[in-house]
Structure 1
């Protein structure tokens, strides 16, 4: 599988970015993940530049780090739609947030996504889309897994959420 992106986007609580950066970079060093020291920080969002984003993504979601985070390997919109088309997920809804672009881009992207995946009101799965300009990350989460405070407070919920993410990882 050829990796097409070199970015991982991680969201966290605003003002927790530096602690998250230190923990993730230490983890990358420990696990021999190739990365560049260059990183981009926006309010609550950190971009990590790595030669192997899917390897890094899999390692991160397979571990339980102390800071709350959602992790997204970034893809172009075409690549994202291909991934979703191959997936066999059924979601309750799509939660989309893209920084640095016009506001209606999420609506346009959601309309395209609706053609590729199944929607079911009874599903407990939420598809989260995060992005920076022309690149989008995805994460498939059970409801309640998107709440950072709950994840930090409840170890069983945290384990359950990370286990679910490992099982439902979407692959190119």
Structure 2
């Protein structure tokens, strides 16, 4: 199942539970290489965070998953210190059923960039269609994309449903 772009934008990496940033280097993590090319941390003798002797084990997280992990880790630490007695976990509330949104197939046609078939939910915004076409066809950000249906430019803030687009309809893509 593909991960949505909003979730991908929130994800981050950690090593040994510490968040990594764009500027993080092996040297800033105090990871060194010995004469045999094996990696080690000069701060600790543990091998946690390494895969074999030549690879660093990095984990990817969403903020929610990382918070849950940190809470579980804190509970375990407190339990080991005797600060916390094992409790019966509260049952998770029943999740609300997710309403399934109907999807349709549409055809995006561009004079210079060909045809792109997409399956999209009826509640997707027109702006997201433009963004998807831009990424799929590698169109530079400085070029404007206008989507038209039945000869009229579509409002970027409206949805497929609001625009009256139906299954297998063609949408014209104009790139300026």
**Bigger Cα Rg:** 2
User: Taking structure 1 as the reference length, what is the TM-score of the superposition?
Assistant: 0.20
TM value normalised by structure 2: 0.20
| Higher RCO, Cα 8 Å, sep 6+ | 1
More helix by share: 1
